[in-house]
Amino acid sequence: MNYTQLTEKKKVEIDILLKQGMSMRKVASVLGISHSTISRYKAGIYKKRTIDINTKYSIFLEYLYSHYDRRNKSIEVCIFMFKKRYRGALCPSTKQVYNWINESKININKNNMCYKRRKNKIMSGMMTHTKWNLDNKTVLPISLRPKYINKRNEPGHLEIDSILGKKNEQESLISIVDRCTRRLWLIKSNYKNEYYTANLIYDYIIKNDIDVKSITVDNGLEFQALGITAKKLGVKLYKCDPYCSFQRGTNERTNALVRRYIPKGESMKLKPQIYLDDICFNINSMPRKIFDYKCVYDVELNYYK
């Protein structure tokens, strides 16, 4: 039987899955490894072995200290020259030497390299959302969406989708629909960048005081950063399965109503926000059979008295 050591990637995957509440056997099944391996890893058996670098690589380090010069003799050059001169001596790889320098294990300062080191960026509030999502389970698959949301008994559970215009055109529309009241909001989007879209949706929701209790979206690239919006709003984001638009049936049906005003293939460039607001008003004022021929505004009155 072939045995392989756990890679750093595998260790990270194990940590993430265990944090999500999976059992060790379930994690082993997902990653295709033995559950006993995960058990030993969790117990802290897989620890890096420490070696005495100064003893094992004494000849190499003596040569490196005496020949390294950041102006004309880099680490790579010193290793190359050492291998030519001391053919029988033990020599580490270039990557290993750089690891020693980064970990301050040898007497070469990492700030004294041939090239200037880039400073590590401080993680801003926006970039820490991934850890927050992991700890608080903000972004979840739709299979974990509570059943009470499916009953449509309370407003605030939104479905969000994009409506495209001409092919290869950056401009598009973002449609927001309430699952309970079928209330529609349309937002003009000038770009398809995920962070731009997330900020656009958040600003619109705050400006219009939209009640939000959960958000459901598809797997479009423009919604990849929508977890940031969910984090700011303090709600959970549910992502549909790929190629399962029926899981956002309310959104898809409402988009079909929007297409009565903006047919497929029509450019979105000349569609101002005031025009989109007028479309929303017309659709929200439309009598619906599902509500005994009442409009959306009449239905909202029953919930927000």
Q: What is the pTM of this model?
A: 0.58
Distance CA 225, CA 196 (A): 9
- Three-state DSSP at 80 gives helix
What is the domain range of residue 260? Answer: 133-303
**Which of 32-41, 56-65, 286-295 is least confident?**
32-41
Residue 121 within any structural domain of the chain: no
Confidence of residue 47 (pLDDT cuts 50, 70, 90): very low
Residue 125 within any structural domain of the chain: no
Residues 81 and 150 in one domain: no
Q: Is it the case that residue 29 has pLDDT exceeding 80?
A: yes
Q: Is it the case that residue 1 has pLDDT exceeding 50?
A: no
Residues 16 and 57 in one domain: no
Residues 105 and 29 in one domain: no
Residues 222 and 283 in one domain: yes
Residues 139 and 227 in one domain: yes
CATH of the domain at 275: 3.30.420.10
Residue 2 within any structural domain of the chain: no
Residue 79 within any structural domain of the chain: yes
Indicate the Cα dihedral angle 52, 55, 59, 63, nearest 10°. Answer: 50
Residues 254 and 196 in one domain: yes
Q: Which residues pair with 141 in a beta bridge?
A: 239
Residues 145 and 293 in one domain: yes
The pLDDT, as a whole number, for residue 184 is 96
Residues 147 and 284 in one domain: yes
Residues 17 and 59 in one domain: no
| Long-range contacts (CB closer than 8 Å, 24 or more residues apart) made by 14-20 | 14/38, 14/41, 14/42, 16/134, 18/42, 19/134, 19/135, 20/134, 20/137
Tell me how far apart the terminal alpha carbons of the chain are, to the nearest angstrom: 69
The per-residue pLDDT for range 136-179, each reduced to its tens digit, is: 678 889 988 999 998 999 999 999 999 998 888 889 999 999 99
Residues 28 and 59 in one domain: no
- Considering its fold, how many domains does the chain have in total? 3
Residues 94 and 205 in one domain: no
Q: Is the model more confident about 265 or about 8?
A: 265
Residue 3 within any structural domain of the chain: no
Residue 226 within any structural domain of the chain: yes
Residue 274 within any structural domain of the chain: yes
Residues 73 and 180 in one domain: no
Residue 57 within any structural domain of the chain: yes
